[in-house]
Structures are given as C-alpha cells and as structure tokens.
Chains A and B, each alone.
Chain A
Amino acid sequence: MKYLALIVPLLFLALFVYALIKRVKLYDCFTDGIKEAIPLLCSLFPYLAAMLMLSELFEASGLAAKLTSLLAPAFRFLGIPPEIAKLVLLKPFSGSGSTALLSEIFSLYGADSYIARCACVAYGSSETVFYISAVYFAGTKRKNLAKPIVIALFSNFCAVILGCFLCRFI
C-alpha cells in the first residue's frame, strides 16, 4: 500500500508543472483559491455546530446506544459495524452532520481502526441524496422524484455493505 501515499504529491507535482507550462501565476492563483476557505468554513460552521451539539445530546441521553443496539443485528448481518449506523442513517440528509459524526468516530475508535475505515468508506462512497434532489430539481417542474431517490438510496446502501466487506481485506 506504500505507493498510495504517492498519489497526492504526484497530483500536485503534475498539476503545478502543467500550470507553469500554461504560464499560470502559481502563487497568486494558489492564494486566490485559499481565499475562499474562510467564507466556505463560515457558511458551514453553524450546521456543524448544531449537528455536533445534537449528536452530543443524543449520546448523553442514552438514546444513541439504544438505537445502535436496536439496529445492530441487522447491520451485523450485512457486515456493517453497528458503530457506524448513525453515520449511515444521517448521510442522506446532511453532509456537514456526517462530517461531524465521522470526526467523532475517528476520535472514539482511532483513525486507523476497522470501524473508522468502514466509516470513511460509508462517508466517501455516498452523497447527501435528499439535499441534491432538493437543489437539482428545485428549478424544474418535476414532481415525482420517488424513483430516482429510491434508486440512489438503495445503491448507496449497497455500496456501504460492499465497502465494509472490502475494508477487511484492503
């Protein structure tokens, strides 16, 4: 797996060489991009904070443990660690909420644990289905969205099962 660490540095190297050939002012351009980081974070922060507070509350009330143990048999049957059940359930609704949950799983179980790796795959292989459906079809007259939404949710859930299976070997 050593060669995987090369991906990111090679990407940067290739792009920056290409950009120099294209006579892009590298420093100006790079800093221009970074400029957008703070507004981006500001637009996200309220949702992160609210979701993390909710998640803490949910945890402290003991309901999270109840939900996890309730779903555990079904998830375990499918090979998904029950610890990531919350993440799998939240992902279709909220991107920042699931980012918050992902970071929590990292600090709870360690970033290199099997559970954390499954969480990474569950997070990385799907998107916020309901958010995308709301935004993409908002400007159109399309009414019946049930079919595409069900297809997307089903495919994403299958990917989580596959991902957790793969994480045992790769």
Chain B
Amino acid sequence: MLSFIIRRLAISVVVLAGISVLLFVLLQLMPGDPAEMMVDPFSFSGDRAAAVQQRREELGLDQSLFVQYVRWIGEFVQGNLGFSYSTQRPVTEIMLERFGPTARLMGTGLVIALLVGIPVGILAAMRRNTAVDYGATVLSLIAISIPSFFVALIGIYVFGLKLGWLPTAGINSAGGGGLADSLRHLVLPAGILGFALAGPYVRYARAAMLEVLGQDYLTTARSKGLARRRVIGRHALHNALIPLVTVVAVQIPTLFAGAVIIEQIFAWPGMGRMALDAVRARDYPILLGFVMAVAVLVLLCNLIADIAYAIIDPRIRLSGARA
C-alpha cells in the first residue's frame, strides 16, 4: 500500500513540474505587456518609456524566459509564489486570504450536494420507474443543464430583490456582522453551487444503486429471508456507495470551477474572483499561483480517489500492487 502511494506521489510531482513549465510558457505568450500596463498611459505624467523600462527591470521581465522560470521555481519550492504585479503583496499571503472564503463556499456547497444528491438518487433507484424516480430525474437534469450563473441571477432576483429574504451579494454585511449574518450570506451562493452539483450526484447514486440491486448476492440475501430494510440498508447501500467516493473526489475540481462563477456573481472575495481580476490585470505571479494550486488540487483529489478506492475495494489494491 505504501509503495503504491509513494509511486503515485512521485508521478504527481513529475506531472506538476510539467504543468508548471507549460503554464509559464503559455502565460508569457498571452498578448500584452504587464510593465506597460502598470504605467497607466492616461494618468501617468513624465517620461513613460523610462518608467516602463524601470518596471520591467524591477520585475525581472527583461531576463530570458529560462532565467525567469528558474527563479520562479526556486522560490516556489520554498513556498514563496512571488509578489503580485498590481499590489506588490506576496502571492502566498493573498491566496491564503482568499482560500478561506472559497473553502467556506465550496465546503458548504459540497455538503449540500451530498446531503441532497445521494439520498435522492438512492430513493429514485429504489422506486424505479415511479413518479418519485421521474421527478428526481427531471430535477437532476434541470440542475445539470441550466448554467449556474442563470440560476444565481434568478435566485438574486427572487430571494434578494423581490422577497428581500437574503442579501444579494458579498460574504458579510459591512464590517463582519457575526455568524448569523455570514450564514445568511452563504445560503444563496452555497445553495446554488450545491444544487448544480447535486444533479450529477443524483444520477451517479441512482445508477450505482441500480447496479447493486441487480446483483446476485442481493437475490441470495433476499432468498435467505432477510428483511427488505436489512437487504437494502446493509448489503445494497454499502456497495453502492463505494464508487461514489471516487465520484465525489474527482468532482471536487468541477466544484472549484463552479465556485469561480458563483464568486463572480455574488462578489464573493474568494480565489475565483482573484483569478479573474488577475487575468485582466496581467498579474502573472497570481495567475501562476492560482493555476498551480488548482493543479495540485486536481492531482490530490485523483490521488485520494485512488487511495480511497484501494482501501475500500481490495481488488483494486491487488491489481494496483501488481502493475
């Protein structure tokens, strides 16, 4: 088991290094010069060309791409992601500040999606081809196919503007406002994020449950005279949940992508909004930090999915060890 994890970790590091090179090159290929942008032509007064050149040297943008990369990776392994071009603050510090709000949004969204999606999916499987199943299917397809930004705008209009039950944007009222205030601000964005994600969970849970329900051992269990409740509860449910662990882990990056959009609409001060602002401002250090963080997240989630699966299902572990 340990060697399996170590091997997977080693592969992850290589993949990460590859991603960093690719990213670095791609970012430099983005049109537009950050040094030019930092000396705003419409408000600057003085020798602009000299000021731009001074900025370029300060930022090390006059060096070759290779030198810039080596410098950056050297700092990266020490946990330092450089300094933001636009605010001059350490990128690590900015990302840590932004991580809290994003984790709050994603974590709550995920819990909502799990608490809604999995029970509904299982219920739909057990009541297959009844009104409950059809209802769940239609709802989950709606959740999957309507873009979350649209649901978000409807949500803001109905609950924020028309009914006035919930705030329209932001993470808290002016100045913080305490736990109740934070929760009120969380309801709409996290609820909508959870709704979008619950759709796929319903589908997966339903499919997994149906597959298990068709297995021979369930027929056996039932023929032994076990109560239906016990057959479903102990035998079917547990086996159906195994593949869902993987699905949840692999879907976390999708959740992250959804959070980027939700953050933008709700003026949520998280990492997604930071990344979009950084794209507009050509803030390469922030962009690099953000995309690397996403890469790490994706690799980590895949790793966790593999390991979790190996632990839960001995067949995977054996074949994994042999390969």
Does A associate with B in a complex?
Answer: no
Residues of A within 8 A of B (CB): none
Residues of B within 8 A of A (CB): none
